[in-house]
Amino acid sequence: MSLRQRIEDKLTAAFSPERLAVIDESHLHAGHQPDMTGTGETHMRVKIVAAAFSGMNRLARHRSVTELLRPELDAGLHALAIEPAAPGEAVLW
């Protein structure tokens, strides 16, 4: 199973999102470091809309996603961009 799929599965189970996109942006970071070729799953972007984020500030939302995905970060995920929103909030996607 790919890292992208594992992240999607975990987010779906934990937050029951209305909308979710997990995007592998690794190719955009090729060459940033000697071992980054752009071919691995090293940089991910999470766009998520979930009722679980209602009443949470931006920092709390980011922390909840980061803590859920801590095992992936510890295992080598280099960067994780998070765009969390509650239902009804404006999103650019």
pLDDT tens readout for residues 41-89: 778 999 999 999 999 999 999 999 999 999 999 998 988 999 999 999 9
Q: Which of 67, 63, 80 is nearest to 10 (CA)?
A: 67
Domains of the chain (ranges; CATH) run 3-85 (3.30.300.90)
pLDDT tens readout for residues 16-26: 999 999 999 87
Residue 31: both structure tokens together: 């060459």
pTM: 0.85
Count of helix runs (H) and strand runs (E) in the chain: 3, 3
Phi, psi at 72, each rounded to 5°: -70, -40
**Rg over CA atoms, the chain:** 14
Nearest 10 degrees: Cα torsion 61, 74, 39, 85: 0
